[in-house]
């Protein structure tokens, strides 16, 4: 956990340092974003415990605001968002629903394609995401939900007509989001990490 925290901290410092060192001519834009979050929950062990959950392809939703800094010509920048995310996992007895305030901070590179730049511009992103538990439902006594969930995102997308961005990203959970407790574990350490796809559309002003 300490190594993960140290690595994430260093990544944030690098991204912030990059953002603050951008030329004065850098473009700053604000946008609104909405989409679908497809969540999967991966447990570390205990096949019987895993079997009580339908952990794959549980669709939720995501929405919020974003800002973007981009250096003209070279196409490198920073993309940060403040999002409300709803995630679900179906257990044998109930639907586990968790809502988060999610803050992804990504480095972003936009490809420059002559002639069609003003119409279509692909991009890739990567960076850490920090999700803070806002509410939960369906968490029984056998599960302990963590209040903070850290992931690393890898994404790609396309910007259309300089204002619409359609993107998809994969979030690889770095910290445990759920932990089994009590007699259900039989003394075994059982923990689960979020892994998810997020597909969004954003309008950039």
Find the distance separating the first CA and the last CA of the chain, reported in whole Å.
39
Alpha-carbon span 196 to 39, nearest angstrom: 4
Q: How many CB atoms lie within 10 A of CB 182?
A: 11
Alpha-carbon span 95 to 114, nearest angstrom: 49
pLDDT at residue 42, as a whole number: 76
pLDDT at residue 141, as a whole number: 61
Residue 18 CA to its chain's centroid (Å): 21
pLDDT at residue 144, as a whole number: 77
Strand, helix or coil for residue 55: coil
> How much is the mean pLDDT over the chain?
81
What are the CA-CA distances from residue 78 to residues 16, 40, 75 (Å)?
A: 9, 27, 10
Alpha-carbon span 105 to 110, nearest angstrom: 16
Whole-structure pTM value: 0.82
Give pLDDT < 50 ranges for the chain. Answer: 183
Q: Return the DSSP state at 189.
A: -
- Residue matched to tokens 């196409």: 75
Residue 15 CA to its chain's centroid (Å): 16
Domains present along the chain, CATH in parentheses: 2-204 (2.40.160.20)
Alpha-carbon span 97 to 87, nearest angstrom: 6
pLDDT at residue 165, as a whole number: 98
């Amino acid at each position: 956990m300490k190594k993960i925290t140290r690595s994430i901290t260093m990544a944030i410092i690098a991204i912030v340092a990059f953002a603050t060192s951008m030329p004065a001519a850098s473009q700053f834009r604000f946008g609104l974003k909405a989409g679908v979050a497809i969540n999967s929950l991966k447990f570390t062990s205990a096949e019987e415990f895993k079997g009580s959950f339908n952990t794959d392809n549980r669709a939720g939703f995501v929405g919020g605001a974003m800002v973007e800094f981009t250096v003209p010509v070279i196409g490198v920048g920073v993309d940060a968002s403040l999002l409300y995310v709803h995630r679900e996992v179906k257990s044998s007895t109930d639907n586990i629903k968790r809502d988060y305030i999610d803050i992804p901070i990504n480095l972003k590179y936009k490809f420059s394609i002559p002639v069609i730049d003003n119409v279509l511009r692909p991009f890739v992103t990567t960076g850490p995401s920090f999700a803070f538990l806002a509410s939960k439902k369906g968490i029984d006594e056998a599960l302990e939900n963590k209040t903070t969930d850290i992931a690393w995102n890898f994404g790609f997308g396309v910007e259309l007509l300089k204002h619409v961005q359609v993107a998809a990203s994969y979030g690889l959970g770095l910290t445990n989001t759920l932990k089994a407790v009590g007699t259900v574990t039989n003394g075994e350490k059982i923990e689960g990490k979020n892994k998810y796809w997020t597909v969004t559309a954003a309008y950039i002003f």
